[in-house]
């Protein structure tokens, strides 16, 4: 996670909105995006570990598809400036 990022969360069932203080932007997230963002916020910096956590959290068997989905979310976060770089 970008060290300048401070996230503030709101959740209603499986919907999330997150406010990023430095940019003042509000992002709407689904369960997967929110979980990835929270994991990164908690200090997770390894893509492999992130994929494992997501697989466990959402009970996903297909690790290849999970990795693709997680990578897509991480790329989106990179575009938004929320993430700098992840270890492979």
Partner 1 sequence: MIVSALPPGGVDDRLRADGLVIRTGPFNFRIDSPIRSVAEGVALLYADYPMADDSEFVDFSVTIGHGSGLHRWFRPQARFIYDGDSPFEPLPANHAHPLLEWAMNWCISSQAHQYLILHAAVIEHSGGAVVLPAPPGSGKSTLCAGLIHRGWRLMSDELAMISLYDGCIVPLARPVSLKNESIDIIRRYVPGAVLSRETPDTSKGTVAHLKVPAEQVRRANEPAVPRWVVFPRYVAGAPPRLTPRPKADSMFELARNAFNYSLLGLTGFEVLGDVITSCDCYDFEYSELDDAVATFDRLATAHP
Q: For binding to partner 1 (CB under 8 A), which residues are involved? A: 8, 10, 12, 15-17, 19, 21, 24, 26, 28
Between 9 and 58, whose beta carbon lies closer to partner 1?
Answer: 9
- Sheet containing 7-12, strands listed edge to edge, beginning at the edge strand earlier in sequence: 7-12, 15-20, 25-29
Distance (Å, whole) CA 39 – CA 1 = 9
CA geometry: angle 80, 33, 24, nearest 5 deg: 40
| Minimal distance, residue 47 CB to partner 1, in Å | 27
Between 22 and 68, whose beta carbon lies closer to partner 1?
Answer: 22
Between 15 and 62, whose beta carbon lies closer to partner 1?
Answer: 15
């Amino acid at each position: 996670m970008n060290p300048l990022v401070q996230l503030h969360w709101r959740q209603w069932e499986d919907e999330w909105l997150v406010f990023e203080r430095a940019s003042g932007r509000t992002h709407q997230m689904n369960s997967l995006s929110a979980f990835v963002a929270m994991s990164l916020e908690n200090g997770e910096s390894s893509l492999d570990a992130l994929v494992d956590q997501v697989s466990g959290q959402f009970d996903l068997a297909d690790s290849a598809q999970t990795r693709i989905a997680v990578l897509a979310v991480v790329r989106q976060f990179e575009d938004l400036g929320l993430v700098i770089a992840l270890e492979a």
